[in-house]
């Protein structure tokens, strides 16, 4: 588990590529995962991908990966109101980097609040798929 990084995606991110392409781009989640895998090819790290639309499954997954090198988390809309996900992040050892493809601060007011931000090591938002690459880089830098 120490050499494992989890990329965890929340609700509606399984529809990447067809969901609001003007906001989230036209690449699919499978393409994103492929790209990230290639990026870490040479590194001594195992990359694991999970996605769920369910809050409980996301919490169970955070628990399962509680002792890993780090977690790149796009909690989707749960970011803005899930105290249960926040508590799960606070309960685990693994550092969690919050990522968003869109710049949530430039969108609707309800997206400006992140209830998980205070318990994450940092937040990356607004760089499309590159937000995940930057999130991974952040985890790797933490472990140096
Ligand atoms: C998102 C932003 C959230 O506000 C939204 O609910 C999502 C995706 C992003 O990646 O930009 O589902 O997390």
CATH number for the domain spanning 14: value is 3.40.50.9100
Residue 100 CA to ligand 1 center (angstroms) comes to 6
- Tell me how many domains the chain contains: 1
Whole-structure pTM over 0.95, yes or no?
Answer: yes
Ligand 1 atom at minimal distance to the Cα of residue 103 = 11
Quote the pLDDT of residue 41: 85
- CA–CA distance, 117 with 96 (Å, rounded to integer): 10
Give distance in angstroms: CA of 78 to centre of ligand 1: 9
Give the pLDDT score at 32.
96
CA-proximal residue: ligand 1, atom 12 (nearest): 76
Is the beta carbon of 102 within 6 A of some atom in ligand 1? yes
Smallest CA separation from ligand 1 atom 8, residue: 76
* Ramachandran assignment for 20, one of left (phi > 0), alpha (psi -120 to 50 degrees), beta (any other): left
How would you label 79-112 residue by residue, b for 16+ Cβ within 10 Å and e otherwise? bbebeebbebbeebebbbbbbbbbebeeeeeebe
Taking the CA of residue 23 as reference, the ligand 1 atom at the shortest distance is 11
User: Which pLDDT value is given to residue 143?
Assistant: 77
Which residue's CA lies nearest to atom 6 of ligand 1?
A: 77
Residues noted as catalytic: 24, 100
Range of the domain at 32: 4-142
The pLDDT profile of the chain, 144 residues, written as one tens digit per residue, is 889 999 999 999 999 999 989 888 899 999 999 999 999 887 889 999 999 999 999 999 999 999 999 999 999 999 999 999 999 999 999 999 999 999 999 999 999 999 999 999 999 999 999 999 999 999 999 977
């Amino acid at each position: 588990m120490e050499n494992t990084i989890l990329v965890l995606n929340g609700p509606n991110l399984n529809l990447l590529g067809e969901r609001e392409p003007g906001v989230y781009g036209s690449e699919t989640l499978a393409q994103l995962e492929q790209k990230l895998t290639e990026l870490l090819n040479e590194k001594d790290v195992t990359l694991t991908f999970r996605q769920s639309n369910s809050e409980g499954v996301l919490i169970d997954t955070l628990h399962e990966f509680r002792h890993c090198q780090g977690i790149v988390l796009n909690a989707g809309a749960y970011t803005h109101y899930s105290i249960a996900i926040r508590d799960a992040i606070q309960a685990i050892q693994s550092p969690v980097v919050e990522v968003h493809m869109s710049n949530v601060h430039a969108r609707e007011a309800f997206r400006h609040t992140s209830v998980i931000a205070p318990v994450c090591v940092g937040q990356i938002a607004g760089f499309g798929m590159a937000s995940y690459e930057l999130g991974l880089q952040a985890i790797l830098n933490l472990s140096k």
